[in-house]
Structure 1
């Protein structure tokens, strides 16, 4: 049975309306996100015109030693946080995807707590945790010290990485792993030779999310690590410090630096992801 010309015309018209609505909603959101970045650039451009002798605000920000120190600490802490997050996320995601055990739903909900909790609550909980043994024994070496930056970033970033890795393993066909087991491989060998290589795009995505989330972390850092210059100051807290003294131009400049860093990481990830698909 074939559709009549009238039915075809009506379907074409309704399809056009449907996609037009989707396009308006999606386009509005994309324009809004673009507007956020364009507004920052416009502000910096106007500031440069009003004070031509100051030069580029971004260059000026990069020339300040305290901001260079925050950039170095941000790059170091985000990289360490990403490595630690993947170190935890791969096995936890695999266990949650492949294993069934009592209390699994409770553990699954527990793993999402850093995602749903307000950031300040995460920082406060870390601060309270290090008041009790055995964590209290390391209080003076961690709280309001550089390791606190990494730990505060890790608590939240690892949750996103775990959720990504679990979704990755859920989407992988377990039959290949079962075939490897029937051919004489141990569970560890089957994971290392079959499952892990297939999960590499997901690992790359989880690492990207962890790095980007660590870069933008603020609330837990402010409560648990503080914002001390040359010690625990990272880019997100630099924005807070510059705003607190009314230096809006420097705050916007640091914000653009963070945008550039995030865009570069996302572009590299997509390039590597496409390369993995083509090889």
Structure 2
């Protein structure tokens, strides 16, 4: 590993971690709502939330670029507040968070669906409010699903490329992540460096996915018990 590659790896890890932390509260709320709600339109909402998983990442990046442009209402509000997003590290985090969000929600929803509603009802009869019952009963019982979702989201953010390159660019030392650096080095003929970075990315992804598999097996064993 060269001296210039360590900051790149640390930046990629920081982006993935920050993106995961930012979407965690919203993801938990959405997952819990989908797990408990049986009303009309649930399938439509689930489909909309899953779109980033099946759309080309570049399409998601293009939408973000349009939404954040200075000609859009959102862009004008951000500009009036002096907040610059496009082609900054903020855009890297935003793109990674949006692409990772569906994975968090799907896994966390499965965790909440495994919680027996009768246990929550007992907590309510003992005087707990809805919020207190959630934090004392539901969330502790669903924690493996939530953590699995967080690890999947982190893994997805580590390898995000398509949306990021459109909304944040590929600026070395500013917005370049590991995935973008691999692409850039391949383009300029530095195949050995690209392969070395690909190996690092593989190790990081393997560690995150392995942790997810361990948690999934434990959830399965608990469900069978």
The answer, yes or no, to whether TM exceeds 0.5 is yes
Measure the CA separation in 2 of the matches of 1:227 and 1:124: 15
- Kindly provide the CA deviation profile for residues 223-267 of structure 1, in whole angstroms up to 9, marking residues without a partner as x: 111110000000000001001101111111101001111222334
Question: Does structure 2 retain, via aligned residues, the 8 Å contact 1:239–1:251?
Answer: yes
Once residues 36 and 216 of structure 2 are traced to their aligned partners in structure 1, the CA distance between those partners, rounded to angstroms, is 24
For structure 2, the 5+ residue unaligned runs are: none
Query: What's the CA shift for 1:87?
Result: 1.7
CA distance in 1, matches of 2:93, 2:162: 13
Deviations 1:152-194 (A, max 9, x none): 0000101110111112212222111111112221111111111
Instruction: Give distance in 1, aligned partners of 2:150 and 2:55.
Output: 21
In structure 1, the residue matched to 2:209 is: 266
**Count of residue pairs brought into register by the alignment:** 216
Is residue 150 of structure 2 the alignment partner of residue 207 of structure 1?
Answer: yes
Which position in structure 2 is the counterpart of 1:85? 23
Superposition deviation, residue 271 in structure 1: 6.0
Match of 2:2 in 1: 63
Mapped contact 1:88–1:158 kept (Cα < 8 A): no
Equivalence for 2:112: 169
Match of 1:73 in 2: 11
- Secondary structure of the equivalent of 1:143? coil
**Residue 100 of structure 1: how far off its partner (Å):** 3.6
- Root-mean-square deviation (CA), in Å? 2.1
Structure 1 runs not aligned, ≥5 long: 1-61
1:152 maps to 95
Q: Secondary structure at the match of 2:169?
A: coil
Q: Is the 1:164–1:205 contact (alpha carbons within 8 Å) kept by the matching residues of 2?
A: yes
Contact 2:96 2:160 in 1 (8 A): yes
- State the alpha-carbon separation in 2 of the partners of residues 222 and 97 from structure 1: 34
* Contact 1:119/1:219 (8 A) holds in 2: yes
Which protein has the larger Cα radius of gyration, Structure 1 or Structure 2? Answer: 1
- Matched residue, 1:35: none
Residue 270 of structure 1, CA deviation: 5.6
Look up the match of 2:186: 243
Partner of 2:78: 138
Structure 1 residues 164, 144: CA separation in 2 closer, same or farther (over 3 Å shift)? same
Give 1:34's aligned residue: none
Q: What displacement does 1:106 show?
A: 2.2
Question: 2:36 aligned to 55, 79, 98, which one?
Answer: 98
More helix by share: 1
Q: Say if 1:275 and 1:119 are closer, same or farther in 2 by CA, change over 3 A.
A: closer
For residue 64 of structure 2, what is the aligned residue in structure 1? 126
